[in-house]
Amino acid sequence: MNYTIRGENIEVTAAIRDYVEKKINKLERYFDTPPTSDVHVNLSVYNDAQTIEVTIPMTNLLLRAEEEHADLYAAIDLVVDKLERQIRKHKTKVNRKFRQEGSPKYIFAELEREKREQEEESDEIEIVRTKRFNLKPMDSEEAILQMDMLGHNFFVFTNAESGDTNVVYRRKDGRYGLIEPHR
């Protein structure tokens, strides 16, 4: 595997690089032949949180995981665990198809057919639910309270001061964001 390891607000030392490569290389045991794909790793530090994102594009499979922890090495271990679960889930799905059809030739033909269908379907956008509601004029603090009461991650409202439609949302760091139209 070819590694691309980037760091944001952190210097990627040789020790960190070796640890990441050693841990991710353990995933090779799940494959008959070692994958030759690229491994994209983003390490970032914001406040006291260490975040690692790993993306491994492969034929018929995209492995991607993100983990955040106070300790970078613990975050690396957690992200590798997530990737292992994804691989096992994918292999279970393939093995189930193998048992159903009985022959590897049919499995790969079926996987290719499904992949082509999914690619064709992904071009079409399907709206599965529509909601309609009145936008009540309020300030952003009241909108955040409404969002929290509903248990949602975002809330659309009419800004009482400007009359514009705004959106408040909960960020990954637990704080709040506000989206306003640009004038």
What structural domains does the chain harbor? 2-122 (3.30.160.100), 137-179 (3.30.505.50)
Q: Can you give the pLDDT at residue 101?
A: 52
Q: Is 180 helix (H, G, I), strand (E, B) or coil?
A: coil
| 62 neighbors 38 (Cβ within 8 angstroms) | no
Distance CA 35, CA 56 (A): 10
What span, in angstroms and rounded, lies between the C-alpha atoms of 108 and 112? Answer: 6
pTM score, two decimals? 0.52
d(CA 5, CA 17): 7
pLDDT means per 10 residues, the chain with 183 residues, are 88 92 87 77 89 84 86 92 85 63 57 66 68 83 84 89 92 90 81
